[in-house]
Amino acid sequence: MKRQIYLGLLFLATFPTLRGQQLPQYSLYMLNPYAYNPAYAGVAGTLLAHGAYRQQWSGLAGAPESQYLDAHLPVAPLRGGAGLRLENDKIGAHRTTRATLHYAYHLDVGRSGLLTLGIGAGYVQYTLDGDKLRTPDGIYEPGGSFTHNDPLFPEGKVVGGAPLIELGAFFRQRQLEMGVAILPAYVPALSITDQGAFRVLLVPQYVGMGAYRVSLSDQLALVPSFLLKFDPAATQVEISGAFRWRENTFVGCSFRGLASSARDALALFGGLRITEKISFAYAYDIPLSSLANVQRGSHELLLRYDLGKPLGAGRLPPIIYNPRFWGI
């Protein structure tokens, strides 16, 4: 009950303008850069599709729960690639759903470099479930009937939506890959007037990613990577390392939160190729933050489909070391 009252007070304190939650956290970010960067669309030179589910802070009421589905492929007549991403992110009484179409322009740089510039356009919908809010002066019956006794608090679901734009850039040079993105680069305030009129602001999130492949033998490679996310209020850095065996099995770990104030989790992950075209990965986050005593860690699952052959007249990226650099 205390957690529910706190949630209600937090909602009241930020009224009439709410800040939307940050981007969903995915520990397996290195396996699907497209989830964080529209410029990766079509870079693999073939059709790629992913589905992911993440349960964060298991055992904690109202903890984040996220899912996404995406697919992208090269489009030779457009000199680039195109993709679609669908995402759902739920935190307590708040739910954010996005649907975005992306296009990335591909430009060869020298003999082995690739530079891509991506843009995405879509729609974001925000939902607030007033049934899950509680106020100190509200009346809540055991049978489910209730009243918040506050005109600012909705007593049902309220919904608002707006168009959005995303931007990104990606660069590949032999074993090195780097990318930056703004998600979203533009989105107007979501106005909700059904009950207790208020606005929701989705703050732009700036994302940086990078990885470098080190071949240890003909069959074994080490791939360190990083993910940087920041906005005007917070910065989070995650560093990872994965060992890949014969390009069909991998294990690794990540450390999230280099600063003591942002320390979050140690993630252990692994995966394998189930069939020629389908791969599976799993990650478990060991909590290191102050929430460690009230939760049982985070779980994440990812399925990947890789057509495995070039599409259209386009070519695969000019890297002969590992054509599935980011893949499983």
pLDDT tens-digit readout, 124-159: 998 888 777 777 777 777 776 777 777 667 777 888
Domains, the chain, in order of start with CATH, read 18-132+157-306 (2.40.160.40)
> Helices (DSSP H) in 189-291: which residue ranges?
none
- pLDDT at 285 exceeding the cut of 50: yes
pTM value?
0.85
- Cβ neighbours of residue 260 closer than 8 Å, sequence gap 6 or more: none
d(CA 9, CA 256): 29
What is the model's pLDDT at position 194? 58
CB-based contact 305:296 (threshold 8 Å)? no
In degrees, rounded to 5, the angle at the alpha carbon of residue 275 between the alpha carbons of residues 305 and 220 is 95
Model confidence pLDDT, tens digit, residues 5-52: 334 434 444 445 555 556 889 999 999 999 999 999 999 999 999 999
- pLDDT band at residue 79 under the 50/70/90 scheme: very high
**52-83 burial: b if 16+ Cβ within 10 Å, else e:** bebbbbeeeeebbbbbbebbbbbbeeeebbbb
227 φ, ψ to 5°?
Answer: -135, 125
What is the model's pLDDT at position 18? 56
Model confidence pLDDT, tens digit, residues 179-189: 999 999 998 88
d(CA 77, CA 313): 8
How far CA 108 is from CA of 81, 172, 173, 230, in Å, comes to 14, 10, 10, 30
Q: Is 268 helix (H, G, I), strand (E, B) or coil?
A: strand
- For the residues 243-252, what does the mean pLDDT come to? 92
**What percentage of the chain reaches a pLDDT higher than 70?**
85
What is the model's pLDDT at position 312? 63
What is the model's pLDDT at position 138? 76
d(CA 249, CA 124): 36
d(CA 71, CA 48): 6
What is the model's pLDDT at position 21? 54
Residue with more model confidence, 261 or 70: 70
Residue with more model confidence, 284 or 110: 284
Beta strands at 157-173 and 176-186: parallel, antiparallel or unpaired: antiparallel
Lowest-pLDDT range of 79-88, 233-242, 296-305: 233-242
Closest Cα to residue 181, out of 192, 168, 200?
168
**265-292 burial: b if 16+ Cβ within 10 Å, else e:** bbbbbbbebeeeeebebebbbebeeeee
What is the model's pLDDT at position 43? 95
- For the residues 159-168, what does the mean pLDDT come to? 92
73 φ, ψ to 5°?
Answer: -160, 160
- pLDDT band at residue 196 under the 50/70/90 scheme: low
- pLDDT band at residue 4 under the 50/70/90 scheme: very low
What is the model's pLDDT at position 153? 72
Report cis status (omega within 30 of 0) of the bond before 24. no
Lowest-pLDDT range of 170-184, 261-275, 287-301, 314-328: 314-328
d(CA 235, CA 262): 8
| Amino acid identity, position 238 | E
Length of the chain: 328
User: What integer best gives the mean pLDDT of the chain?
Assistant: 85
d(CA 308, CA 65): 31
For residue 306 the two structure tokens come to: 């890789």
